[in-house]
Structure 1
Amino acid sequence: MHQKISQTPILLSIAAGNSSCCIFRVPKSFVEINDECYQPQIVSIGPYHRGEPKLRMIEEHKWRYLGSLLDRKKTSSGLSLEEYLKAVEPLEIRARECYSETIGLNRDEFLEMLVLDGCFIIELFLKVGKLVPFEPGDPIISMAWILPFFYRDFLRLENQIPYFILECLFDLIMEDGQSGPSLSSLALEFFNYAMQRRDEDIAKFHDLKGKHLLDLVRKSFIPFDHDGDQRHKGPTPTHIIHCVSKLRRSGIRFNPAKEETFLVVHFRRGVIHMPTITIDDFMSSFLQNCVAYEQCHRSCTKHFTTYATFLDCLINTASDVEYLCDRNVVENYFGTDMEVAGFINKLGKDVAFDIQRCYMAELFNNVHEYHKSSWHVQWASFKYTYFDTPWSFISALAAFILLILTVLQTFFTVYPAVRGDPVKGQG
């Protein structure tokens, strides 16, 4: 018993509660919902999935890339592998503290892993960015299926190394006077092959830094004026907003908005303005890992958690997805409308969310107040029921004409009797 009392936690270390800790095992409740979104499929980065048999193929190519990098740099700057290991050695303790689990690698193994994985990532960024040529016939670029897996695997929460390790290695690799893009620019351009954002939208992030690659890309979606979650001022927003179909019945409409990021949503005069979001294999994985990161890290803002909760409120059924697709708010490259609805509902499941401390608190409150306004609901419900589609309008018009004809027939039957006019045929 005394031994257990003095035992140091391993699976969730004491350091996991510090702001410096930023690379976590995904909570079991999230993994049970969708395990594949958190598990690397082709490449291991960092210690959590190191040595897994299914990831051995790319592990061999890591050493090949490291060898080509060392050969190239040896001619230009004379740096050997030992110099790279010595450069990251003072960062070992700081790097270990970034992981929520106690890492069971000794010093040499841990440093080797950091250098091998970090150099592989940077070398791949340089090659894809056309600053360094690919070797002829390199299967990583010649086989079309491989790179899309890298885009996703490099942005999984459990598959990270600290960003300051990447910066340290990048400075060594680029120290021979080369002028060129920053590490963050190279990284964002690499992932932009999957995200397809406008070049001007990512060019401004030249000096952006993150805790790791997932955090870097996550931060690039957060507007500069959204530097943190703030407590909502005014009436306490105690209600989650309703789904699309119910909001439409109360007269609320959805329009696509021209914003730099899908996180910026506005509500004005009964219209929710939402920038278009593309739901595909990459974005679904990215969103889930961002939410998992925000749920685990004590100091980061909760923008993706808030947005995921917002989508989960809006979407209940396939018809909700269909309407948002028709309004160009959602672009569906994920599957059927039902599959998108299922994904969104999983995205918001078991998520801790504080509506009073989120950046959408005012929007939640304003939409709820608009929805509960009785005259809005009654008038909009009437329009939704009778004028939402051409067929419903034709049916309502036919019923109205039938009602008028019935009234007229009754009138012309009853009116002569009321006036006392003689019935025809009697004399």
Structure 2
Amino acid sequence: MASDSVEAQQNEHTIKVWEANKDRLESMHRRISEPPKLLSRAAGKTGCCIFRVPKSLADINGRAYEPRIVSIGPYHRGEPHLRMIEEHKWRYLGMVLERTRPMGLGLEDYMRTVAPLVGSSRECYSEAIPLDDDEFIEMMVVDAFFMIELFRKVSRLVPHERDDPLFRVAWILPFFYQDFLRLENQIPYFVLERLFEMSMVSAEESKRSLAELALEFFNNTMQRPDSVIAACSDLKGTHLLDLVRSSFIPRDRHELEEPRRRVSVPTHLIQSVPELIHAGFKLRRIGEEGESFLVVRFRDGVLEMPTIMIDDFTSPFLLNCVAYEQCHDSSSNHITAYATLLDCLVNTDRDVEYLCYQRIMENYFGTNGEVARFINNLGKDVAFDIDRCYLSGVFNSVHEYYSNSWRVKWAFFKSWPFLSTLAASSLLLLTVAQTFFTVYGYFRPPK
């Protein structure tokens, strides 16, 4: 019995030597050698510009980042609800080939042109694209020419069939305007531009840039003056979303430049509409027709803002611009800064009502409450350096003006609530005095 006990104790203290599982080690080495796929190494490069929208934003804004009727690029390729337009892509490609065949250009020529761009095109996507090079080239050619042909037809550079359903069915084009400007639904701009230039046929086409045609296409819903579009004819972008986003950033306006260095004092966010009004601020619409909504000024207690239209096109466009600026390190943060400004100003439906009354905002989106929720979601969960945004000067000037206590107090004394309270109090005191002297005169009549 004693020997058994000793043997048991020895067994308890036995140290097992770990032996490597060869299959496990091979699996680990294989995973070490595999490059990341969902966020590829290309995502950290300057050229990467087409991203999956962060889940934090997608959870807030739902389907604003997903195409409704047409897939452009690889991220939503082959999804069942987008198949209807896939058939028409091939029809439009056939029109391009028919028109350029007399120039000696065929499908093989266009694919050969895109082939050298495959490597740089793949690096534009934050995810590894699970297509071989031939499939990738096919996708680029088909998707690019579909958009280019639409731009040419809308600009009347080429005729469109009288019974073309893409033009005759009223609801389709408005969804193209939205889907072509979703971050996950892009192809590189340099691919578009190369195929556009290669497929020019008429002298009239050679006078027009791709940027001009694209902006004319979207102007059917944005409705900006022709002079604004013409001024952007030489504009470039990383893709269509960036092109349209950049067209709202006037290149000759000093106040829209982002500071290269941090401001000397920390930037403060500003108060909401009712707080500013209560403090004696005025909000005023400025700008001529077509003025970019980004041109915001503050001087002498007046916050000046051009009109912005909130509708079914603007709302997803702004959301996708913010998502792009959140993901692309080399992008400016103009839309994000403007979204932050709106988020500061608007808390309730009454704030939207006031901005609409001042013609700073035009609501074609829904109720004022729905617009307020959209604006608050637009600025939610975004990260950017507020000290280096183009509105940092406006934020600081408004904060400094608001912090001037005597001005805020004087504004209170001039405000209707104070004056009405003062009037009511005075009336009450006079009534009490009158009652007192009436009663006093009754009990103590004059001798």
Q: TM-score, normalised by structure 1?
A: 0.92
Name the structure 2 match of 1:163. Answer: 189
Q: Which shows bigger deviation, 228-237 or 23-32?
A: 228-237
What's the CA shift for 1:381?
Answer: 2.5
Name the structure 2 match of 1:38. Answer: 65
Q: Aligned AA for 1:132?
A: V
SS in structure 1 of the partner of residue 283 of structure 2: strand
Query: Is the Cα contact below 8 Å between 2:262 and 2:388 reproduced in 1?
Result: yes
Q: Which shows bigger deviation, 63-72 or 3-12?
A: 3-12
Q: Does residue 233 in structure 1 map to residue 263 in structure 2?
A: yes
| Whole-angstrom distance in 2 between the partners of 1:307 and 1:236 | 18
SS in structure 2 of the partner of residue 137 of structure 1: coil
1:32-54, Cα deviation, whole Å (9 max, x unpaired): 11121100000000000001110
1:392-416, Cα deviation, whole Å (9 max, x unpaired): 85x764554444454567679989x
| Whole-angstrom distance in 2 between the partners of 1:372 and 1:411 | 47
Q: Aligned AA for 2:309?
A: T
Q: Aligned AA for 2:338?
A: Y
1:201 maps to which of 228, 242, 246: 228
Q: Aligned AA for 1:313?
A: C
Q: Does residue 247 in structure 1 map to residue 276 in structure 2?
A: yes
Name the structure 1 match of 2:98. Answer: 71
1:384 maps to which of 390, 411, 415: 415
SS in structure 2 of the partner of residue 247 of structure 1: helix
| Whole-angstrom distance in 2 between the partners of 1:348 and 1:41 | 24
Q: Aligned AA for 1:320?
A: D
Name the structure 1 match of 2:31. Answer: 4
- 1:350/1:153 Cα in 2 relative to 1: closer, same or farther (>3 Å)? same
SS in structure 2 of the partner of residue 45 of structure 1: coil
Q: Return 5+ residue gaps in structure 1 as ranges.
A: none
Q: How does 1:186-225 map to 2 (within 5 A)?
A: 186-224=213-251, 225=253
Q: Aligned AA for 1:3?
A: R
| Whole-angstrom distance in 2 between the partners of 1:366 and 1:373 | 11
SS in structure 2 of the partner of residue 70 of structure 1: helix
SS in structure 1 of the partner of residue 309 of structure 2: strand
Q: Does residue 374 in structure 1 map to residue 401 in structure 2?
A: no
| Whole-angstrom distance in 2 between the partners of 1:274 and 1:219 | 19
Q: Does residue 98 in structure 1 map to residue 119 in structure 2?
A: no
Query: Is the Cα contact below 8 Å between 2:67 and 2:182 reproduced in 1?
Result: yes
Q: Aligned AA for 1:312?
A: D
Q: Return 5+ residue gaps in structure 2 as ranges.
A: 1-27
Query: Is the Cα contact below 8 Å between 2:259 and 2:388 reproduced in 1?
Result: yes
Q: Aligned AA for 1:220?
A: S
Q: Which shows bigger deviation, 126-135 or 401-410?
A: 401-410
| Whole-angstrom distance in 1 between the partners of 2:257 and 2:417 | 45
| Whole-angstrom distance in 1 between the partners of 2:337 and 2:56 | 19
Query: Is the Cα contact below 8 Å between 1:308 and 1:344 reproduced in 2?
Result: yes
Query: Is the Cα contact below 8 Å between 1:231 and 1:357 reproduced in 2?
Result: yes
Query: Is the Cα contact below 8 Å between 1:240 and 1:368 reproduced in 2?
Result: yes
Q: What's the Cα RMSD here?
A: 2.2
SS in structure 2 of the partner of residue 267 of structure 1: strand
Q: Does residue 347 in structure 1 map to residue 378 in structure 2?
A: yes
Larger radius of gyration: 2
SS in structure 2 of the partner of residue 235 of structure 1: coil
- 1:265/1:56 Cα in 2 relative to 1: closer, same or farther (>3 Å)? same
1:49-97, Cα deviation, whole Å (9 max, x unpaired): 001110000000000011111111113x121111111111111101111
Name the structure 2 match of 1:359. Answer: 390
- 1:401/1:344 Cα in 2 relative to 1: closer, same or farther (>3 Å)? same
1:326 maps to which of 357, 362, 366: 357
SS in structure 1 of the partner of residue 352 of structure 2: helix
Name the structure 2 match of 1:62. Answer: 89
Aligned pairs, number: 414
Q: How does 1:16-35 map to 2 (within 5 A)?
A: 16-35=43-62
Query: Is the Cα contact below 8 Å between 2:257 and 2:390 reproduced in 1?
Result: no
Query: Is the Cα contact below 8 Å between 1:232 and 1:362 reproduced in 2?
Result: no
| Whole-angstrom distance in 2 between the partners of 1:402 and 1:241 | 38
Query: Is the Cα contact below 8 Å between 1:229 and 1:301 reproduced in 2?
Result: no
Q: Aligned AA for 1:339?
A: E
| Whole-angstrom distance in 2 between the partners of 1:413 and 1:202 | 79
Query: Is the Cα contact below 8 Å between 1:188 and 1:202 reproduced in 2?
Result: yes
SS in structure 2 of the partner of residue 211 of structure 1: coil
Name the structure 2 match of 1:88. Answer: 114
Query: Is the Cα contact below 8 Å between 2:100 and 2:201 reproduced in 1?
Result: no
What's the CA shift for 1:227?
Answer: 4.9
Q: Aligned AA for 1:80?
A: G
Q: Aligned AA for 2:270?
A: I
Percent identical pairs in the alignment equals 58
1:308-353, Cα deviation, whole Å (9 max, x unpaired): 1111111111111111111111100111111001001111111002
Q: Does residue 143 in structure 1 map to residue 169 in structure 2?
A: yes
Query: Is the Cα contact below 8 Å between 1:231 and 1:358 reproduced in 2?
Result: no
Query: Is the Cα contact below 8 Å between 1:46 and 1:113 reproduced in 2?
Result: yes
Name the structure 1 match of 2:319. Answer: 288
What's the CA shift for 1:183?
Answer: 0.6
Name the structure 1 match of 2:212. Answer: 185
2:309 maps to which of 268, 278, 281: 278
SS in structure 1 of the partner of residue 232 of structure 2: coil
- 1:57/1:350 Cα in 2 relative to 1: closer, same or farther (>3 Å)? same
Q: Aligned AA for 1:248?
A: I
What's the CA shift for 1:229?
Answer: 4.5
Query: Is the Cα contact below 8 Å between 2:263 and 2:388 reproduced in 1?
Result: no
Query: Is the Cα contact below 8 Å between 1:24 and 1:100 reproduced in 2?
Result: yes
Q: TM-score, normalised by structure 2?
A: 0.88
